[in-house]
Structure 1
Amino acid sequence: MRPEVSVAIPMHNEEGNVELLYHELKEVMEGLRLRYEIIFVNDGSTDRTGELLRGIASRDEAVRVVELDGNFGEAAALSAGYQFAQGDWIITMDGDGQNDPRDIPALLEMLRKGYKAVSGWRRKRKEDYLSRVLPSRVVNWLIALVTGVKIHDVGCGLKGYRASLVKGHQIPHGFHRFLPALFGVKDEEVAEVEVKDRRRRSGRSHYGLGRTFEVIRELLTVRFAISDAEGWRRRIHKARGAISLGGLAVLILLLFSFNLGTLILLLALVVLLSLCRLVERNLLRFLRAQEEGVFRVREVVNG
Structure 2
Amino acid sequence: MQISIVIPLLNEEQSLVELYNWIAKVMRSNSFSHEIIFIDDGSTDNSWKTIEALSENDAAVKGIKFNRNYGKSQALHAGFLRAQGDVVITMDADLQDNPEEIPELYKKLKEGKYDLVSGWKKKRYDHVLTKNLPSKLFNAAARKTSGVKLHDFNCGLKAYRREVIKNIDVYGEMHRYIPVLAKNSGFSKITEKEVKHQARKYGTTKFGAERFINGFLDLISIWFLSKFGRRPMHLFGALGVLMFLFGFIAAGWIGISKLWKMYHDEPNILVALNPWFYIALTVMIIGSQLFLAGFLGELILRSKREKEQYLINKTTPNL
Please state which band the TM-score falls in when normalised by the shorter chain. Answer: 0.7 to 0.9
Aligned partner of 1:152 in structure 2 is: 151
Q: Tell me how far 1:197 sits from its aligned partner.
A: 0.9
| Contact kept? 2:228, 2:235, Cα under 8 Å | no
Aligned partner of 1:193 in structure 2 is: 193
SS at match of 1:292: coil
Query: Aligned residue pairs: how many?
Result: 285
Unaligned runs of 5+ in 2: 255-272
SS at match of 2:313: strand
Q: Tell me how far 1:144 sits from its aligned partner.
A: 1.1
d(CA) in 2 for partners of 1:286 and 1:128? 42
CA gap of 1:169–1:152, structure 2 versus 1, over 3 A, is same
Aligned partner of 1:297 in structure 2 is: 312
Aligned partner of 1:54 in structure 2 is: 52
d(CA) in 1 for partners of 2:30 and 2:16? 21
SS at match of 2:144: helix
| Contact kept? 1:118, 1:159, Cα under 8 Å | yes
Give me the TM-score of the superposition, normalised by structure 1: 0.82
Aligned partner of 1:73 in structure 2 is: 71
d(CA) in 2 for partners of 1:287 and 1:100? 43
* Structure of higher CA gyration radius: 2
d(CA) in 2 for partners of 1:42 and 1:89? 22
| Contact kept? 1:13, 1:47, Cα under 8 Å | yes
SS at match of 2:148: coil
- Cα deviation code 1:144-167 (max 9, x no counterpart): 111111010011000000010111
| Contact kept? 1:4, 1:34, Cα under 8 Å | yes
SS at match of 1:16: helix
- Cα deviation code 1:29-66 (max 9, x no counterpart): 11121211000011111110011111100110011001
Unaligned runs of 5+ in 1: none
d(CA) in 2 for partners of 1:133 and 1:26? 31
Aligned partner of 1:40 in structure 2 is: 38
| Contact kept? 1:83, 1:168, Cα under 8 Å | no
Query: What's the Cα RMSD here?
Result: 3.4
Give me the TM-score of the superposition, normalised by structure 2: 0.78
d(CA) in 2 for partners of 1:283 and 1:29? 47
Taking every aligned residue pair, what percent have the same amino acid on both sides?
A: 32
What does 1:148-297 align with in structure 2 at a 5 Å threshold? 148-184=147-183, 189-226=189-226, 229-231=229-231, 233-238=232-237, 241=240, 256=274, 291-297=306-312
d(CA) in 1 for partners of 2:215 and 2:151? 15
Deviant stretches of 4+, over 4 Å: 185-188, 239-249, 255-258, 282-290
Aligned partner of 1:138 in structure 2 is: 137
Aligned partner of 2:265 in structure 1 is: none
